Structure 1
Amino acid sequence: VVVILPTNRKDKYDCVKKYLCVDCPTPSQCVVSRTISKPQALMTVATKIALQMNCKMGGELWSVEIP
């Protein structure tokens, strides 16, 4: 789940994270709407969110092949 929060208020973030981590365990990532409102940075932000979600679901961020 990707949650888009209107502001960076800690109480709202804590409430969402408690629900998604404790009450209904679900991999989640919170993003403040201001972060995704800049068109020139949207692809970078989306890529970082995808990497974080992949990691939270057990995926690997990088792999190294040792010869």
Structure 2
Amino acid sequence: MNIHTGHRGTYGAPRVHAEPRHRGRKVNRKRVTRLMRIHHIVGRHLHRTRRTTIADRTAPARPGPG
């Protein structure tokens, strides 16, 4: 899986599958997925976290339990 490591571990099965196809080699997507699963190779999940709540610092504190 030189494609995966060559892209610093960010490529998952769809992108790893697309690279050889772009170069003219026939590769089945399910085979790539299966081989990556067997060898415990996972692409990185780069999701941004969104801040949905902004605390009001002037609001009174909530009373604690009993």
Q: TM-score range by the shorter chain?
A: under 0.3
Larger fraction in strand: 1
The structure number with the bigger radius of gyration is 2
TM-score when normalising by structure 1: 0.26
TM-score when normalising by structure 2: 0.27
